[in-house]
Amino acid sequence: MPTPTLPDTFRALRVIQDGETRRAEFQTLPISELPEGEVLIEVSHSSLNYKDGLAVTGAGQVLKRLPMTPGIDLAGTVLEDRSGTYTSGDAIILTGWGIGEAQDGGYATHARARAGWLVRQPTGTDAAWAMSIGTAGFTAMLSVMALEDAGVRPDQGDILVTGAAGGVGSVAIALLSAAGFTVTASTGRTEEEAYLRALGASTIIGRDEMPSLKRPLEKERWAGVVDCVGGETLAGAYASTRTHGALAVCGIAGGLELHTTVFPLILRGVSLLGIDSVTCPQPRREAAWQRLARDLPAAKLAAVTGIRGLSEVPELAPQILAGKVRGRTVIDVNG
């Protein structure tokens, strides 16, 4: 295969400091402005996540320095790899490892990264599929795997998914349903009932129906939990988890603090499982992507996914923060 001609410039959505505020603008920059990394990637797709919304709007101090390119996910093809791990033309996926936070991310036509951060796209998939999964779906897969590793089985009772209409929650429902679990979906958007049932949820409950923490132990209800919310929602779910059940904790949309007791841990043997999708070890990362390819082919994701152009991201960012974006949004970086 002939050596590809490397580009001189790339286009990116950059967040800059403008006086006392942060704002996003499109820039065309020399390729030399990309960060360090052995692998030069031609990016075709990224995705929109809650963290990206914070970065683009400046609502949260997500970006560690400015100016910076947000986008915590990307997929595309390798142009060159100085480490020799990948060949020009290899299709890769990159999520986590601080891209879009500490290093320029996926909202650009090109990126550089370390070879050890990348995962090859599973056979039979493409970049749009990978970004319909993205960090959100990858986190959901890690959550399901963690519950299974903790011994939670389909015959033990219902699995609760909180923040069910969001990106992580939506994919978690689909994955749990595919694995044979009975799923209860908790959401603040009960108008999404038909959508959640189509994903595989058997029961829909409003956010206000979630039991709040009134006592150290509540009635045993859930065999397992995928919690995308945190705060009071997590505290109530934790106190309501059955003996030897487990909670995969992966979100903070409802708050950072957890006010509870150790009683579920020591009287019921409940496990609190932290899900870290950013620095997940490579073997588990690859296993998760292979299972995602098996359990969530593109056809199954059609109802969960919309595709928008990079030019629309500044408009979409405040919408995801306001809870108005359901499921997954794939970003075509050339759009």
Report the alpha-carbon distance of residue 185 to residue 62 in Å, rounded.
Answer: 29
2-40 confidence digits (pLDDT tens): 566 789 999 999 999 988 889 999 999 999 999 999 999
Report the alpha-carbon distance of residue 261 to residue 264 in Å, rounded.
Answer: 7
Note the pLDDT of residue 323: 82
Of residues 21 and 141, which shows the higher confidence score? 141
Among 267, 276, 226, residue whose Cα is nearest residue 246: 226
Report the alpha-carbon distance of residue 297 to residue 300 in Å, rounded.
Answer: 6
Please, which pLDDT band fits residue 1 given cuts at 50, 70 and 90? low
Under CATH, which number does the domain 9-121+304-332 receive? Answer: 3.90.180.10
Note the pLDDT of residue 213: 59
Among 210, 226, 123, 251, residue whose Cα is nearest residue 174: 226
First-last CA distance in the chain: 28
Please, which pLDDT band fits residue 185 given cuts at 50, 70 and 90? very high
Note the pLDDT of residue 212: 58
**Radius of gyration (C-alpha) of the chain in whole angstroms:** 20
Residue 286 CB: number of other CB atoms within 10 A? 14
**How far lies 287's CA from each of 127, 292, 334, in Å?**
18, 9, 30
Note the pLDDT of residue 236: 93
Helix (DSSP H) and strand (DSSP E) numbers for the chain: 9, 15
Average pLDDT, the chain: 93
Note the pLDDT of residue 300: 82
Please, which pLDDT band fits residue 166 given cuts at 50, 70 and 90? confident
308-324 confidence digits (pLDDT tens): 999 999 999 999 988 88
Report the alpha-carbon distance of residue 192 to residue 201 in Å, rounded.
Answer: 11
Judge whether residue 168 has pLDDT over 60: yes
Note the pLDDT of residue 252: 87
Structure tokens at 261: 């007791």
CATH class of 135-274: alpha beta
Say if CB 121 and CB 134 are below 8 A apart.
no
- CA 75, 77, 80 angle in degrees (round to 5)? 130
Judge whether residue 327 has pLDDT over 70: yes
Structure tokens at 312: 């629309």
SS3 291: helix
Structure tokens at 118: 């990348």
Structure tokens at 233: 């929602």
Report the alpha-carbon distance of residue 213 to residue 128 in Å, rounded.
Answer: 41
Of residues 299 and 53, which shows the higher confidence score? 53
Region label for 229, one of left (φ > 0), alpha (ψ between -120 and 50) or beta (otherwise):
alpha
Say if CB 162 and CB 229 are below 8 A apart.
yes
Note the pLDDT of residue 196: 93
Note the pLDDT of residue 59: 87
Of residues 305 and 310, which shows the higher confidence score? 310
Among 142, 141, 72, residue whose Cα is nearest residue 113: 72
Structure tokens at 166: 């969001």
49-88 confidence digits (pLDDT tens): 989 999 999 988 899 999 999 999 999 999 999 999 999 9
Q: Is the pTM of this model over 0.75?
A: yes
Domain boundaries, the chain: 9-121+304-332, 135-274
